Amino acid sequence: MTKRVLTVDDSKTMLQMLQFALKQGGFEVIQGENGQEGLDLLEANDIDVIITDINMPVMDGITFIKELRKKPKNKAIPVLILTTESSQSKKEEGRSAGATGWIVKPFDPGKLLEVIRKVSP
Amino acid sequence: MDDLAQFKQTFFAECEELLGDLEGHLMALQSGEGDNNTLNAVFRAIHSIKGGAGAFGFDRLVAFAHIFETVLDLMRDGRLEPTPDSVLLVLHCADILSDLVKAAQNGTELPADHENEGRKSLIDLAATVGVNADPHAADDELAALDAQLAAGGPDALMEAAAAPEPAAAPEPAAPAKAPMLKFLVKFTPRDALYQRANEPLILIRELKELGSFLAKADAEGVPPLDQIQPEGAYIKWEFEIETDKGEQAIRDVFEFVIDDCELEVTCLNPPAAAAEAPAQPAADAAAPKPEAVTPAAPKPATPAPAAAKADPHAAGDGATAKPAAAAKPEGGAGGETKAVRSIRVDLDRVDKLVNMVGELVITHAMIAQQTEHLHADQHPELANGLAELSHHIRDLQESVMAMRAQPVKSVFARLPRLVRELAMMTNKKIRLDMSGENTEIDKTVIEQLGDPLTHMIRNSCDHGIENPDDRVAVGKPPEGVIHVSADQRGGRIVIEITDDGRGINREKVMRKAIEKKLVAPDATLSNEEIDNLIFLPGFSTADTVSNISGRGVGMDVVRQNIQSLGGRVHIQSRPGQGSSFILTLPLTLAVLDGMVLKVGIQSYILPLANIVESLRPEPDQINIVANQSELLRIRGEYVPLVYLHRIFKVPGGIDDPTKALVIIVELEDSSKMGLVVDEIIGQQQVVIKSLEENFDPIRGVGAATILGNGRVSLILDVAGIKHIAENESQQRPSPQARLAAPALQASA
């Protein structure tokens, strides 16, 4: 079955690049532009993996992860944070919110798929 | 490469949007309206630009954006206070960033020192709070690291070479002939591992791919079923792995869970010391034996070169600047509205659609004409269908036009800053008021509006508004005001730029015009005509060309630009009180509502927007005045009559207005004129076909169209007609309509 990835980023460039890479990996892609949209889309779709940016308007990535983890049905969904900020503090913040792993921008498509394999059965 | 080009296109479109928003946010900061949300938005904009630029390898852009971002991060943290000076610097740097984006987009190279000054100011600013924003410092570290690695031998050199590669795979740069090593891995997950949706089975699968593999699960800790917590960690594992990929490859598998488990990696058959050392010099230095790596604190033991390799930005990031990010408020975006859902469509596609709709309009007109002779009561379905089709086409057309329409806000947004800068340069006090920013115009028009608008504002600031002292001397407040407004009036958009400055010095303008032989020395011109002399090519009133208005572009170019958009510009001035530039622009460039007129054997289209009314006058309404021109008296107002067939020399036109029709038209300067025509055929939407590609400009004719019967018809330009009429009445003895002949040829 095709796996469905929810990508959440306020940068359309990034969404487009993610989509390109993910489609090559055989994933179906659903896109949201901020955490709130992410939550809405999560509600409406069965999602296998979530990739989210941290810095976003309306609802940032950290809040998004915290919110989604509150629902039992979302507890087992791997969430990867996407950030250019490679510092430990950012990863820690994401992890303490409930992120499963992280992808450091810029990424190449191969690396992205590799990371997804690392968190998704 | 196609995909890359497409990504780039998206990126630059996004940059443009971000930079536009940035401008607005920065203006808010400047005026003191900004708060932490504004700073957050500014930070995000720069951050997004940097992120995208990094993906495409625009290193120079990334480098500058990085320092910029560092300073903004300090500002939103509250570590740096946004003072007027620092906000000014940020504004300046936003300009530089914009230049760098443009250069990246056009593939041009800016002078090497373009961003140096802004960059230095940013670094100095960050330094005031003890933060080093200079990535060069980090580069130096990297260089030192490279040197260190180089000393380690050829393998280390390979590592160093791999370091700048973006997103390099985490595999260690294994020596060509890596030894087969046997590892014992003890893995004890904690609850947190499951709470973050990590899955030991996936890790085990990954480990298995490294080489031969044996797993032992210890399920002793599993409690009775009724005590099991769904997210509890009860099982621990021991793996024996034989691999040639090295210890780091094993540790990489646990990258995401390292803090949520206890992990011990032991090499069961350690190789001779040298075999592994070059690949992990720092690891050896910090932790000579793998066993010494404590599970609780594995991160500090991560080999430094590997960290640099996995993430080149770690090296690019000012190491001291970054931790600030931890404290920044993330959730403070409540004031922003939810983004409008939209898709991005290539403008060419929309234009194609616009054209198709245009053709549809013509086809509809053709069918309507073909079926005209049929009686509606005999073919009710046909008549109804056609009427409905006409509605639908109109709706379709409006929808398509709306796709191209954008609020003028995007152009207006640049103006406050322009005025502020100009005020500073000229030592004047100028306030800018704006209204009607949400008025929508065709995108093409908007895109080309920026330059002329900028130039007119420059002109108002430079020539219009006086120095504060001069203003006070004539009893005005020291601060001058420029008001820019946009408004839709009828089928056109009117933009007015009004200043309360000194107005046009008509004497000086006249003198200059005579000096430059633009007008005859004995010419008598009305005040309005004198004012509008400034639009003549080669005219400049500034005694010395200042670097504000005099940038090699005169008001004649402004007029040309506006005219090429199908618009007009004129100036109204009240000496001592100020001037207004008045720009009128068409709402759309593709279709117009017109009235089809018959004049002799010709038919013409008159834009509906110009028409006030039409009537057949009584003989006593016609008055002939001294210079033989005729005036129509209508409700106490006198309107000059213009015979269209005389203007265009069409044979067979009706000469007696009481037997013909008079259409009262209004011009942009609010003057009226009565056009005498034979009859009105009807109202019709027409598709504008430009004549300029094939003909020189024809006065009195704006464009052409194709009518339902397939014939070409000219669209009238009333301002041009007025001009011809006035010229004719001045040279009454020889009423030679200079431009009538080409106009006729064009219609043939």
- Largest Cα–Cα distance in chain B? 120
Count the neighbouring beta carbons within 10 Å of the beta carbon of residue B119: 21
The Cα–Cα gap between A112 and A105 comes to 10
Question: Would you call B197 and A55 a contact, using CB atoms and an 8 Å cutoff?
Answer: no
Beta carbons of A58 and B44 less than 8 Å apart: no
The pLDDT value recorded for residue B143 is 43
Q: By the 8 A CB rule, do B702 and B716 touch? A: yes
Instruction: Please judge whether A16 and B253 are an interchain contact, meaning their C-beta atoms are less than 8 angstroms apart.
Output: no
Q: First vs last Cα of chain A: how many Å apart?
A: 12
- Over 70: is that where the pLDDT of B308 sits? no
Over pLDDT 70: what percentage of chain B?
77
Q: Cβ distance B444 to B589 under 8 Å? A: yes
The distance of Cα B581 from the centroid of its chain, to the nearest Å, equals 25
Phi and psi at residue B435, in whole multiples of 5°? -145, 160
Judged on CB neighbours under 10 Å (0-12, 13-18, 19+), B617 is buried
Strands B701-706 and B591-599: unpaired
The arithmetic mean of pLDDT across residues B261-273, rounded, is 77
For residue B224, give every residue at least 6 positions away whose Cβ sits within 8 Å of its Cβ, in sequence order, or none: none
B430, B500 Cβ separation under 8 angstroms: no
Q: How far is CA B458 from the centre of its chain?
A: 21
The per-residue pLDDT for B491 is 62
Q: Does residue B702 have a pLDDT over 90?
A: no
pLDDT of residue B677: 93
How many Å apart are CA B37 and CA B35, to the nearest integer?
Answer: 5
Q: Which pLDDT does position B599 carry in this prediction?
A: 92
Please tell me which residue of chain B has the smallest CA distance to A68.
B196
The per-residue pLDDT for B193 is: 83
- Between A33, A79, A92, which is nearest B339 by CB? A33
Q: d(Cα B64, Cα B120) in Å, to the nearest integer?
A: 10
- Res B596: pLDDT: 92
pLDDT at B496 over 90: yes
Query: pLDDT band at B114, cuts 50/70/90?
Result: confident
Confidence of residue B3 (pLDDT cuts 50, 70, 90): low
8 Å CB contact of A89 and B167: no
Q: Compute the radius of gyration of chain B from its Cα atoms.
A: 37
Whole-complex ipTM: 0.80
SS3 at position B661: strand
Residue B287 has pLDDT above 60, yes or no: no
Residues of chain B with pLDDT > 90: what percent?
A: 6
Distance CA B116, CA B113 (A): 5
Give Cβ neighbours of residue B174 (< 8 Å, ≥ 6 apart): B244, B245, B246, B279
Across B309-332, average pLDDT: 39
- Cβ distance B51 to A78 less than 8 Å, yes or no, reads no
Minimal Cβ distance to B44: which of A10, A13, A89: A10
- The confidence score (pLDDT) of residue B154 equals 38
Lowest pLDDT segment from B149-158, B444-453, B472-481, B718-727: B149-158
Q: What is the pLDDT, as a whole number, of residue B540?
A: 62
CB B531 within 8 A of CB B571: yes
Q: Chain B interface, mutation test: which of A6, A7, A13, A108, most B Cβ atoms within 10 Å?
A: A13
Task: List the single range of B307-321, B477-491, B512-526, B631-645 with lowest mean pLDDT.
Answer: B307-321
B701-706 and B712-716 strand pairing: antiparallel
Q: In what order do the strands lie in the sheet containing B261-267? A: B212-218, B236-243, B181-189, B261-267
pLDDT of B332 reads 39
CB distance B102 to B154 below 8 Å = no
For all residues of chain B together, what is the average pLDDT?
75
Cβ pair B195, A74 in contact under 8 A: no
Check residue B543 and give its pLDDT. 44
Q: What is the pLDDT of residue B175?
A: 46
pLDDT in tens, B324-334: 333 334 333 44
Instruction: Place B351 in a pLDDT band, splitting at 50, 70 and 90.
Output: confident
> pTM of the full predicted structure?
0.42
Residues of A in contact with B6 (CB under 8 A): 16
What does the alpha-carbon distance between residue B69 and residue B82 come to, in Å, rounded to a whole number? 14
Interface test with A, best of B1, B330, B341 (most A CBs within 10 A): B330
Predicted pLDDT of residue B122: 86
In the block, residue with structure tokens 């630059």: B12
Residues 6+ apart with CB under 8 A from B613: B663, B664
- Residue in B closest to A63 by C-alpha: B331
Counting as low any pLDDT under 50, the low residues of chain A are none
The minimum CA-CA distance between A46 and chain B, rounded to whole Å, is 16
Q: How confident is the model at residue B740 (pLDDT cuts 50, 70, 90)?
A: very low
The full DSSP string for B513-550 is HHHTTSS-TT----HHHHHGGGGSTT----SS--TTT-
Facing residue for A55 by CB, picked from B47, B259, B338: B47
Which of A13, A86, A110 minimises the CB distance to B311? A86
3-state DSSP assignment of residue B638: strand
Tell me the H-state helices in B59-153.
59-77, 84-106, 116-127, 135-151
Mutate to test the interface with B, among A11, A37, A89 (most CBs of B within 10 A): A11
